[in-house]
Structure 1
Amino acid sequence: MRTLKIIEHVSLDGVIQNSADGDGFPYSDWTGAYRTPAGAEMMLSAHGDRFDLLLGRRTYDIFAGFWPTVSGIPMADRLNAAKKYVVTHRPDDLGWGPAEGVGPDLVEGVRRIKAEDGPGLVVTGSSTLTSVLLEHGLADEVVLVVYPVLVGTGKRLFAEGTPGQAFEFAGTTPTPTGVLLSTYKVAGPLKTD
């Protein structure tokens, strides 16, 4: 059974949006000033040597417009080589491959993909997927790359109404610019007592 890891770049106030996407978001590339070689190595390690991607259509299109034009950078090489499983109603036009649509039922499609042989799955960006994956017990791990900024507006990591979840802390690694990569194992529904 494959594992599914959510990796998200996030501000202190929970914003993961990093580009305008045509909606007037005022802080495109707010992570740029914090990038370092140490951070790049940290991200390579978090993704692993080999992985497949699970992406929403918007994130797939954004990535497809950039990553195929980049070569010779380890992260670009890994992303370009990864199989992309895309949540989309238009699976026939997935030009950045290898790629395939998840199917009409997200939950059943992800269960099927996780049951197949292959490397671990990584979800990044795709804010509409994270809450659904956690709600249905499909995510195994959450890696938050937390930046020391407040963005104040934009797409959030988890949707309003996402059921409470508990996580087990697995570790934190800092970069020289104050970015923290924190890893959590999904422990199940949040219990209160």
Structure 2
Amino acid sequence: MRKLKIIEHVSLDGVVQHSADGDDFPYPDWNLPYRTPEGRDAVLALHGERFDLVLGRHTYDLWARFWPTAPANPMADRINAATKYVATHRPESLRWGPVEPLGPDVAEGVRRVKATDGPDLVLCGSSTLASTLLGDGLADEVLLIVYPIVLGTGKRLVAEGTPARSLELADTSTTPSGVVLSRYRVTGPLPVG
């Protein structure tokens, strides 16, 4: 059984958005000033040597414009080699591969992929999909790369209405620029009462 890791770059106030996305978001590339070689190496380690990707269609399209032509480096090589499992209503237009659509029922598609042999699955970006999979109990780990900045606006990590979940801190580290990397194991629904 493969694990599904959600890896997100997030501000202190929970914003994961990095581009305008057609809605006048005023802070594109807000995390650039905090990137360091140590942070890059830590993020690469969080992904692992081999992984496949679970992506929403918007993130897939953004990444397909960048990663196939990115200079060779460990992250680009791993991302380009990964099978991309994509939540989409237009599977015939998927060109950057290896790629497979998740099908009309995304949660069932992820369950099917998790049950196969292969490397762990990583979901990056794709905040709507992250909320769905976390709410459906399909995420095994949540890895947060938290930047020392408050944005005050933008898409949040978890959508309103996502079912409550309990997580357990597995480990944490920091970079020289003040970025905190924390890995949590999802332990299940939040106990009530």
Q: TM-score range by the shorter chain?
A: over 0.9
Distance (Å, rounded) in 2 between the aligned partners of 1:114 and 1:91: 20
Q: Which residue of 2 aligns with 1:95?
A: 95
Q: Which residue of 2 aligns with 1:138?
A: 138
Q: For structure 1, which segment, 71-80 or 23-32, has the greater mean C-alpha deviation from structure 2 after superposition?
A: 71-80
Could you tell me which runs of 5 or more consecutive residues in structure 1 were left unpaired when the two chains were aligned.
Answer: none
Q: State the Cα distance separating 1:74 from its structure 2 match.
A: 1.1
1:172 counterpart SS class:
strand
Deviation string, structure 1 residues 105-137 (Cα, Å, up to 9, x no partner): 011111100001110000010011111111211
Q: State the Cα distance separating 1:24 from its structure 2 match.
A: 1.2
Q: Which amino acid aligns with 1:86?
A: V
Distance (Å, rounded) in 1 between the aligned partners of 2:55 and 2:28: 20
Q: Which residue of 2 aligns with 1:42?
A: 42
Q: Which residue of 2 aligns with 1:108?
A: 108
Q: Which amino acid aligns with 2:100?
A: E
Q: State the Cα distance separating 1:168 from its structure 2 match.
A: 0.8
Q: State the Cα distance separating 1:71 from its structure 2 match.
A: 2.3
Distance (Å, rounded) in 1 between the aligned partners of 2:152 and 2:39: 24
Distance (Å, rounded) in 2 between the aligned partners of 1:138 and 1:16: 20
Distance (Å, rounded) in 2 between the aligned partners of 1:34 and 1:7: 17
1:86 counterpart SS class:
strand
Deviation string, structure 1 residues 2-44 (Cα, Å, up to 9, x no partner): 0000000000000000111222111000010001000000011
**Identity over aligned pairs, percent:** 65
2:132 counterpart SS class:
helix
Distance (Å, rounded) in 1 between the aligned partners of 2:178 and 2:13: 15
Q: Which amino acid aligns with 1:69?
A: T
Could you tell me which runs of 5 or more consecutive residues in structure 2 were left unpaired when the two chains were aligned.
Answer: none
Q: Which residue of 1 aligns with 2:19?
A: 19
Distance (Å, rounded) in 2 between the aligned partners of 1:30 and 1:17: 9
Q: State the Cα distance separating 1:140 from its structure 2 match.
A: 0.2
1:122 counterpart SS class:
strand
Distance (Å, rounded) in 2 between the aligned partners of 1:110 and 1:40: 28
Q: Which residue of 2 aligns with 1:180?
A: 180
1:125 partnered with 2:125: yes
Moved over 3 A (4+): none
Distance (Å, rounded) in 1 between the aligned partners of 2:145 and 2:7: 7
Pairs within 5 Å for 1:69-80? 69-80=69-80
